A and B are shown apart, each in its own frame.
Chain A
Amino acid sequence: MIPQNFDYAAPSTIEEALELLADPEAKALAGGMSLIPLMKLRLAAPGRLVDLRRIAGLREIRQDDGALRIGALVTHSEIESSPLVRSRCPLLAETASHIGDLQVRNAGTIGGSIAHNDPAADYPAALFALEAKVKVAGKGTERTLPLEELVVDAMVTALEPGELITEVIVPVEAASTGTSYQKMRQPASGFAIVGVAARLEKSNGRIGSVRVGVTGLGPSGFRARRVEELLDGTAGSDGEIREAAAVVAEGVEANADLHASADYRRHLAQVFTVRAIRAALARAS
């Protein structure tokens, strides 16, 4: 439980950080909730840690042009408790409150979680349902891409070596939008065995603008477009919800581990999709 030797740098600007990260042996450190345990087990052995936590400006949450811009270094507990996030994007706040335990939420960051892309992380469900975008900085470059393009495979993203996530952009939700995150916790780690986030609107007795994000089921989080299509325009009866949720795992190569087989995960994905949609529907006005 002792890491290998490493150098440590704590730059105060993004530019400095990107300069340091140009070294292929360097690795960015945000909250350290995934990286530090891997280093202690010597499963990861970066030559240098570039600690991002002293960079001003990566810890802000602001509203801008109908979107919330959340700095990459904002912790889960800051998101959970931010009045701005709670009122403008309650799905993200609710999801953050389900992550790990209090200590993890106090240290772990949204940017770190997205960059690590653990298949069982909670955020992807909400972020896919919110059609989040991610701002990425590289040496002399900056780009904004949808989460769907960032996420490649389990633990793998489209980030180029030396690139950093700087900001997560989610839409400001209308007060009438209904959202919910429903999850089965893995009892040891608190990760999602399966987690489903739903957002939807309701007008004239019909459901619209449905978005469903799923985590834990496959190699990465994903948007369940087939479920959305089937539900869009329906009245949201129990039967309609069940029918839509039934396809959530179609075409997904489901994960399996000690805690849940692939079959069980596929089943849970349906159950929690139903629950998330029902809860979102109850909250929509």
Chain B
Amino acid sequence: MRITGSARIAAAAPEQIFRLLLDPAVLSKCLPGCEGLERTGEDEYRMRMKAVIGAVSGAFDGTVRLSDQKAPQSFRMAVEGSGRIGFVKGEGLLKLAGQDGGTEIAYDGEVQVGGMIASVGQRLLDATARMIIRRFFTRLSEEAGQ
């Protein structure tokens, strides 16, 4: 599944957003359901996540890896997680650009989903993925505003 799109954060310049995005404390607050990021290496974290979407819930264990950092314009983020209800593996490029005092974040990535969520969640995968992204940026925006 290809996921592309963009989000605008009004109150913060790319330099600040870039810093926030690379801060594990901020990331763990912004990722919906994230119960903590534990540093395991240079730009590598172990993640525990409990995703709750409506009546659906599932726990995931996984990793987050950041690479190709070109502050403050872009970096790559790779996320892997697996749990009883399936697994998710994704990698994408995030590009930041200043715009009217705010930041435009463009993302473009490829997500692979397997297990139960792939075989029975087809109808809602896309809508759910985009909802998680929306929530992520809403919270990032809140963080940036503080």
CB nearest neighbor in A for B123: A257
Interface centre among B57, B120, B122, B126 (most CB of A within 10 A): B126
A41 touches which one: B53, B120, B124, B127 (CB < 8 A)?
B120
Contact flag A155-B126 (CB < 8 Å), given A43-B116, A43-B120: no
- Residues in chain A near residue B22, CB distance under 8 A: none
- Residues in chain B near residue A206, CB distance under 8 A: none
- Cross-chain contact A27 with B55 (CB below 8 angstroms): yes
- Residues in chain B near residue A46, CB distance under 8 A: 55
- A128 within 8 A of partner (CB): no
- Residues in chain B near residue A154, CB distance under 8 A: 53-54, 124, 127-128, 131
- The segment out of A50-58, A59-67, A80-88, A113-121 that lies at the interface is A113-121
- A255 within 8 A of partner (CB): yes
- Residues in chain A near residue B116, CB distance under 8 A: 41-43
- Residues in chain B near residue A155, CB distance under 8 A: 53-56, 124, 128, 131
- B39 within 8 A of partner (CB): no
- Cross-chain contact A156 with B123 (CB below 8 angstroms): no
- B84 within 8 A of partner (CB): yes
- Cross-chain contact B131 with A219 (CB below 8 angstroms): yes
Minimum CB–CB distance for B51 against chain A, Å? 10
- Cross-chain contact A44 with B131 (CB below 8 angstroms): no
- A253 within 8 A of partner (CB): yes
Minimum CB–CB distance for A142 against chain B, Å? 23
- Cross-chain contact B53 with A156 (CB below 8 angstroms): yes
Minimum CB–CB distance for B134 against chain A, Å? 7
- B85 within 8 A of partner (CB): yes
- B25 within 8 A of partner (CB): no
| Segment 180-233 of A: residues with Cβ below 8 Å from B | 186, 189, 191, 219
User: Can you report 9 residue pairs joining A to B where beta carbons are below 8 Å apart?
Assistant: A42-B85, A43-B56, A45-B57, A153-B135, A155-B54, A155-B128, A155-B131, A255-B127, A257-B122
List 20 additional A-B contacts (Cβ < 8 Å) besides A44-B56, A45-B57, A255-B126.
Answer: A35-B55, A42-B84, A42-B85, A43-B56, A43-B116, A43-B117, A116-B54, A118-B124, A153-B134, A154-B53, A154-B127, A154-B131, A155-B56, A155-B131, A156-B53, A189-B123, A219-B130, A219-B131, A255-B127, A257-B123
Q: Interface of B with A (CB < 8 Å)?
A: 53-58, 84-85, 116-117, 120-128, 130-131, 134-135
Q: Interface of A with B (CB < 8 Å)?
A: 27, 34-35, 38, 41-46, 116-120, 153-156, 186, 189, 191, 219, 253, 255-259
